[in-house]
Chain A
Amino acid sequence: MPDKKKTTIVLFSGDYDKAMAAYIIANGAAAYDHEVTIFHTFWGLNALRKENQVPVKKGLMEKMFGKMMPRGTDKMGLSKMNFLGMGPKMIKKIMKKHNAMPLPQLVEMAREQDIKLIACTMTMDLLGLQKEELLDGIEYAGVGAYIGDAEDGNVDLFI
Chain B
Amino acid sequence: MEIAKVLDATGLACPMPIVRAKKTMETIGTGEILEIHTTDEGSKSDLTAWAKSGGHELLEQTKEDQVFKFWIKKA
How many A-B residue pairs have C-beta atoms within 8 angstroms? Tell me.
35
Please determine whether A99 and B11 come into contact, CB atoms closer than 8 angstroms.
yes
Measured CB to CB, the nearest residue on chain B to A24 is B15
- A148 to B50 alpha-carbon distance, docked (Å): 27
Q: Which among B16-24, B27-35, B57-65, B66-74 touches the partner chain?
A: B16-24
Residue contact B13 to A33, C-beta cutoff 8 Å? no
A28 lies within 8 A of B19 (CB): yes
Mask: chain B, 35-56; 1 = CB below 8 Å from A; 0 = not = 0000000000010001001100
Known contacts A24-B14, A99-B12; A32 and B19 CB within 8 A of each other? no
Least CB distance from B1 to A in Å reads: 24
Partner of B15, one of A28, A33, A98, A99: A28
Question: Complex: how many Å from CA A113 to CA B18?
Answer: 12
Seen from chain A, the residues whose Cβ lies within 8 Å of a Cβ on chain B are: 24-25, 27-28, 30-33, 98-101, 109, 113
Q: 4 closest A-B pairs (Cβ-Cβ)?
A: A28-B15, A31-B18, A31-B22, A100-B13
